[in-house]
Amino acid sequence: MPSLTAINLGRDIAMEVLAIEAHQNRLWALQGEEATADEETISGELLLCVQRFEAFLARWDGEVLGLGAGLEEGGMEEIEEGEVKEDEMEVDKDSPSPPPHGPERPQRLDPTAINAISVGDIGWAPLPRMAATSRDWFVPSQYGQICIKVYPFIIVKKMDDCMIGMPITTAGGNGLTNKMESLRARSTYVVGANFRGKNDVPYGWGMGPKEMNLEVDRTAGAYEPRAGAFVDVLDTYQIPYNARWKKEGRLTHTSRVDLLRMRHAVLEKDALGWRG
């Protein structure tokens, strides 16, 4: 039987996760409309939800798991990377590939680091996900188990208080092979020296040139996409500047331009009622 503290904190964490999703959906609904004031209000509320989520998670680590150390700043620290990643492969076919050597505790950003970020940068950040199974380090709630996964993100937009990123997933190395046509229509592979994409399934036909890949700049950092790495250009998340973040690479200049073209094409078609 979980303790009263665990029950209450699990409830609070789950509520913040739902609130974060609701605010993200509200922001998405306002895209393309002249609602700047509303966007600023919702963005501020979303930031508060994320801050409360991190605070509750810090309490969970300290009061329920007894980790305590390193949580005084009110943020969350990553669990042992190998253990978490191994479990994610069992829980979620879309689990991210393990970082090549980390991330070694992605750091909170200072003003200089924020100014240095640009569209097309790739880095690691935590993201809450609902889990299909139960593990000791998952957060229980009345809605199910919540786990924190560390994903590589491609930054697609910078805002005053946050950045917007797309998570790179692999589908267990299968990429887009077994995905629905609508997802393949708005998705593209992220390729590098060791992964050059897949040609066994059509993709990207809703975005412009068919089967156009995004290329990682091999001189820009340590990130190397794993087999099956792809992004859904509509699958974006807010990454507050006070969240954990570690940059490890970027797209080539050409691919950064292509990425903006892809998103524009899909958003334009979506606004006109296109659903793939």
Report the CATH number that the domain containing residue 114 is assigned in CATH: 2.30.30.110
Same domain, 197 and 262: yes
Query: What size, in residues, is the chain?
Result: 276
* Averaged pLDDT, groups of 10, the chain, 276 residues long: 71 79 74 61 78 78 58 32 33 41 56 86 85 77 79 91 91 92 94 91 86 90 92 91 82 91 80 52
Range of the domain at 107: 91-271
Same domain, 71 and 113: no
Same domain, 53 and 175: no
Residue 82 domain-assigned? no
Phi, psi of 80 (to 5 degrees): -50, 120
Same domain, 73 and 97: no
Residue 58 domain-assigned? yes
Same domain, 16 and 99: no
Residue 25 domain-assigned? yes
Residue 221 domain-assigned? yes
Residue 27 domain-assigned? yes
Q: What is the pTM of this model?
A: 0.61
Q: Is the dihedral of CA 241, 243, 248, 250 positive or negative?
A: negative
| pLDDT recorded at residue 33 | 56
Number of domains in the chain: 2
Same domain, 125 and 207: yes
**Is 94 within 8 Å of 171 (Cβ atoms)?**
yes
Residue 218 domain-assigned? yes
Same domain, 213 and 110: yes
Residue 86 domain-assigned? no
3-state secondary structure of 231: strand
Given 77, 99, 132, the domain boundary residue is 77
Same domain, 69 and 125: no
Same domain, 264 and 183: yes
Same domain, 141 and 245: yes
| pLDDT recorded at residue 199 | 86
Quote the CA–CA distance of 226 and 98 in Å, as a whole number.
9
Same domain, 118 and 208: yes
| pLDDT recorded at residue 82 | 27
| pLDDT recorded at residue 172 | 87
Tokens of 100: 């090549």
Residue 276 domain-assigned? no
| pLDDT recorded at residue 32 | 57
Same domain, 100 and 234: yes
